[in-house]
Each structure stands twice: as structure tokens, then as C-alpha cells.
Amino acid sequence: MCMNLDQLQSFSTVARLGNFTRAAENLHLSQPSLSRQIAALEQDLGAELLQRARGGTTLTAAGESLLPLARRMLADAESVRRELAELAGLQRGRVRLGATPSLCISLVAEVLNVFHAAHPAIDLHLSEQGSRRLLDELARGELDLALINTSEATEVDRFSVTPLLVEELVLISSAGHPPVTTRRTIALASIADLPQIVFSASYELRSTTDAAFRAQGLTPTVVLEGAEMDAVLRFVERGLGVAIVPAMVLIDRPGLRSVRLEGPALTRSITLARPADVATTAAVAVMQRTITDTATAFAARVGSTMRLAEPGA
């Protein structure tokens, strides 16, 4: 048997994209070259791995068995390459980090600023997705680390996870308009009557707030639906409406004011995840420490609406 990493990479890419043409473009190969690599791999293994059809390419039973092993071998090989580069002087390296949109405009922005200032030779790649999508990318070996919302994410038992923060959701409004309440907290029943800017139905924070309103038999007044995090904050700053968001996004945003929710707080837990079966390189280990230190500093800045997660939580 003489299969090689190039063959496994070709097989894994075709399996992921479900199409030889797109896979060849992704790998910067001609389609005949890609087909020869797959054919050689199938001959070495003595089994058909992929079935071509008019609607796309699917995995055979043998292909389904090989795919997780191929991804593991490719991830291990990439880890070894990066580790050797670091041992040679870290002239060039890479950290691939994933995070949810609300974390990208707050915690992650500070993390990357600190990390890049200390390690400018390291290339940084950021994937901004929802928690479930980030875990999929982590499982495929496309990310080294992912900052996820564990109240929404699933199957975290497949990964090595470090709880970081537990954070309240708060109501925000424009600092240039009169406060929505003079009290220190506001009830969901009062919020339901205010014009709200809400995320799309697939947004993780949206499902949390929708469930809270439903539990109290409330229907919120929506003036705008479907915006991403940064757009929501800007619209609220302009006075278009109010929104329920994580407390940390208010850091360094003087155009917004916030009020805590009355009754049982709506919270989210922020967790750092990484593959459990892939060795951590020196650069990734430094990024992990940077994330942990920055999360600690954020908890101190935000105050009562955020706390450090307890180990093992």
C-alpha cells in the first residue's frame, strides 16, 4: 500500500465538496490529475471510494469508513509541519481561529490585536460562523480553535473544551435618545412593546430570546429582522429600535446604553474548543493563553453582567 497525503487530501476535498470539478479548482489541479489521484488511491486500497452521478459525487461505504481517518491523518500531518516550522525559528506559522459574530466584534478583536502585536510572523485566519458551523469546521480539521456558545452548540464531547465566560444578555438602546426605563432592570413584558431590531431566525441569540418571550406568552414588536450583529448595533445607535444582545458588545461603544433584564437572567456560556486528538502547536498554545487572559480582562471590565466560567462547567 503506497497511498500518500496528496491522495488523501484529494479524496477528502472531493468528499467535502461533492463534485470533482469544484474539488480540482479548490486544490489547483486539473480534473484529470485529480481523477488519477483518486483512482490510484482506490487501487491501493482495493475498494471504490466515490460514486459519480449526474447530481454529484457521493461516498461509498468504503469511502465513509476512510473519510474520518483521512481527515485525522491530514490534521496530524499539518500539525507536524507547523510544529517543525516553529522549532526552526517560527519564521512563518498559522493559527486558524473560529468565532461567532458577536465575539468577533468584541473579545476576538482584542485577542487578535494582542496576539499579532506579540507574534507578527504568525499568519492568522478567522472564520466567523455560528457555533454549530464552527464545530463542523473544527471536526474537519479546518480550524485549530473555536470560540463557541455552548448553550446552543451540540456534540462538544468530541472536542477538548475550556469554559471561559458566562455572560448576561441585556437590552440596548441609543444613548442619544431618552432611556427606555428609569429602573435598573426591565421586564420582558415591557420590552415586547418596544420597537425591536432582531437577528435572523437562524441566529443563535435569536432562538434564545424567542424562547424567553414564548415562555411568557409574549409577542415582541419587530421593526427590523435579519440583521447581523454589527448592523444591529449601528441601527440601535441611530435610534431605529432596541435589541437584546450580549453584554460584552457594549465595550467601547459610547453610542449605546444598556439595562439588565428583570427576573431570571438570559445568559450564554462562551467556551474555547479544539480537536481532542490533534497535537497543539506552540503557536496555538500561545493563542489559547491569549484568549484566556483576554477573557479574564473582559470579565473585569464588564462587571456584574459577566463572570468567569467555573472549571468543568
Residue 153 has pLDDT above 50, yes or no: no
How does pLDDT run across 43-70, given as a tens digit for each residue? 888 899 999 887 789 999 999 999 999 9
C-alpha grid cell, residue 227: 440583521
| Residue among 294, 301, 298, 295 nearest 114 (CA) | 294
- Residue intervals of the chain classified under CATH 1.10.10.10 are 5-83
pTM for the full predicted model:
0.67
Helix axes 282-302, 61-87, angle to 10 degrees: 90
C-alpha grid cell, residue 55: 447530481
Query: What is 92-163+270-301's CATH number, 3.30.200.20, 3.40.50.720, 3.90.580.10, 3.40.190.10?
Result: 3.40.190.10
CB 107 within 8 A of CB 298: yes
Give the residue, 303 or 34, on which the prediction is more confident.
34
pLDDT of residue 303: 73
Q: What is the dihedral of CA 173, 176, 181, 187, to 10 degrees?
A: 0
DSSP-derived pairing of the beta strands 256-261 and 145-149: unpaired
Residue 80 has pLDDT above 70, yes or no: yes
Phi first, then psi, for residue 305 (nearest 5°) are -85, 0
Give the residue, 60 or 283, on which the prediction is more confident.
60
CB 140 within 8 A of CB 195: no
* CA atoms of 197 and 225, how far apart (whole Å): 6
Helix (H, G, I), strand (E, B) or coil at 193: coil
| Residue among 51, 133, 101, 83 nearest 206 (CA) | 101
Q: What is the mean pLDDT of residues 263-279?
A: 87
Helix (H, G, I), strand (E, B) or coil at 65: helix
* CA atoms of 198 and 241, how far apart (whole Å): 10
* CA atoms of 107 and 298, how far apart (whole Å): 7
Kindly indicate the confidence band of residue 235, based on its pLDDT and cuts at 50, 70 and 90: very high
Using alpha carbons only, give the angle 35, 7, 29 rounded to the nearest 5 degrees. 50
- Residue intervals of the chain classified under CATH 3.40.190.10 are 92-163+270-301
Least confident of 202-216, 221-235, 244-258, 294-308: 294-308
Kindly indicate the confidence band of residue 307, based on its pLDDT and cuts at 50, 70 and 90: confident
Q: What is the mean pLDDT of residues 202-215?
A: 88
Q: What is the mean pLDDT of residues 65-87?
A: 79
CB 34 within 8 A of CB 7: no
* CA atoms of 218 and 215, how far apart (whole Å): 8
% of the chain beyond a pLDDT of 70:
93
- Residue intervals of the chain classified under CATH 3.40.190.290 are 167-267
* CA atoms of 160 and 54, how far apart (whole Å): 40
| Kind plus residue range of the DSSP H or E element containing 123 | strand 122-128
Mean pLDDT of the chain: 87
If one looks up domain 167-267 in CATH, what number appears? 3.40.190.290
Q: State which amino acid sits at residue 310.
A: E
Kindly indicate the confidence band of residue 183, based on its pLDDT and cuts at 50, 70 and 90: very high
How does pLDDT run across 89-148, given as a tens digit for each residue? 455 578 999 999 889 988 999 999 988 888 888 889 999 988 889 999 998 889 999 999
Helix (H, G, I), strand (E, B) or coil at 107: helix
CB 264 within 8 A of CB 188: no
In words, the CATH class of domain 5-83 is mainly alpha
C-alpha grid cell, residue 208: 434564545
C-alpha grid cell, residue 196: 425591536
